[in-house]
Structure 1
């Protein structure tokens, strides 16, 4: 959403998967966001992630909107690995 607000083309799904891991700033840079828009892009990303209910709730599509932070999910296998680490 931050990229579209800044007039940037939204990356395809394959490129969006490359956003996982690096900082959002690094991802913006890698996707050609002009330097003068990068800090504003980070601010917008954080706003949509934690403050503004913009996204459809997949558990309640006809209900109210939610923030991006509520769309997060734990990667498969991570809870089990954390449990093993805790027990070792």
Structure 2
């Protein structure tokens, strides 16, 4: 596999984490009135992306293959919890 194919596979692997993180950060700005002390848009998206990518890598390591629905369910759950914490929704 050449370098272009490798990069393509890597980008396709982390794409769900990226678009979920971006969507969560956008929805947080739309549905909340920018609470005082909330992280910036870029910080929220970056933190959600990093944690989401870590969950996908953990799923790949645990199941020895990509694309298991349990990995995607964990991605959604961890991302939602992370966004809840970043938005300080418990207050």
TM-score, length basis structure 1: 0.28
Q: Which has the higher contact order (CA 8 A, sep 6+)?
A: 2
* Structure with the larger helix share: 2
* Structure with the larger strand share: 1
TM-score, length basis structure 2: 0.28
